[in-house]
Amino acid sequence: MTKFENARIEVLKDETLSKNWYHLRNVTFNYTGSNGVTKKLKREVYDRGNGATILLYNPRRDSVILVRQFRMPIHLNGHSGWLLETPAGLLDGDQPAEAIRREVMEETGYLVTDVRPVFQAFMSPGAVTENIHFFAAIIDATVRAEDGGGAAHEDEDIEVIEVSLAEAMAMIETGAICDAKTIMLLQWAKLNREELQGTML
């Protein structure tokens, strides 16, 4: 038995603060901690739905396909805003594997059928509900079904970039890659490079 087994949560009020593109809520709840003391707490919770992201790996070149696009939130936090990332998107009601295939086609133009789930993660659990499904897929970087570049109706303007896995890892060290989900998948790829080179071909 852990000391938190007696902890209890009772939601008292769940108020909508904003529901424009996503849903911002103010949740009031009673929290009975491990010491048995109950306190009334409030937390703002941002609900944008769950998402998926994928490592696109080319074993012949030992390379990965990444996308670069502008992100306003990080621009407001002192970054240029141009972020190098693994392809990703919200599920929008689809199953995770179906959603990531759709996003890969929209963003990169690559058609992937055999997507492998590798793990799931909450990226900012102190404030955001989002759970991201992480995938990997083998591609031939010389064969694309479409140009990619993002969905026009979402005003996406995406550059598709191929870099060696070694170069991508070095870019983490220099800060050229600073997106959490991308770093996680690249680290996974480094740990599983032998398998990516062999059994997923």
Q: Give one word for 175, left, alpha or beta, with left for phi > 0 and alpha for psi -120 to 50.
A: left
Q: Does 76 fall in a domain?
A: yes
Give me the domain span that covers residue 97: 51-197
pLDDT score for 84: 97
Between CA 125 and CA 130, with CA 128 as vertex, the angle to 5 degrees is 90
Q: What is the pLDDT of residue 21?
A: 86
Task: State whether 25 and 58 are in the same domain.
Answer: no
Residues 42 and 55 in one domain: no
Same domain for 124 and 60:
yes
Determine how β-strand 131-138 pairs with β-strand 51-58. parallel
The answer to whether residue 2 is domain-embedded is no
Asked if residue 146 and residue 120 are part of one domain, the reply reads yes
Whether residues 43 and 58 fall in one domain = no
pLDDT of residue 113: 85
- Is there a contact between 138 and 191 (Cβ–Cβ < 8 Å)? no
Same domain, 65 and 41: no
- How many domains, in total, are found in the chain? 2
- Whether 36 is covered by a domain: the verdict is yes
- For the record, the structure tokens of 141 come out as 């970087």
Write out the DSSP string of 46-92: EE---EEEEEEEETTTTEEEEEEEE-HHHHTTTS-SEEEE--EEE-T
Q: Return the pLDDT at 155.
A: 45
Q: Give residue 149's pLDDT.
A: 52
Largest CA distance in the chain: 61
The model carries a pTM of: 0.90
pLDDT digits (tens, 9 = 90+) for 32-87: 998 889 999 999 999 999 999 999 999 999 999 999 999 999 999 999 999 999 99
pLDDT score, position 30: 97
Task: Point out the residues of the chain with pLDDT beneath 70.
Answer: 1-3, 145-156, 199-201
Q: Please give the pLDDT value at position 180.
A: 97
Could you identify the residue written with the tokens 């990703």?
A: 88
3 in any annotated domain: no
Which residues, 6+ apart, have CB-to-CB distance to 1 below 8 Å? none
Kindly report the CATH number assigned to the domain that includes residue 74: 3.90.79.10
pLDDT confidence of residue 201: 43
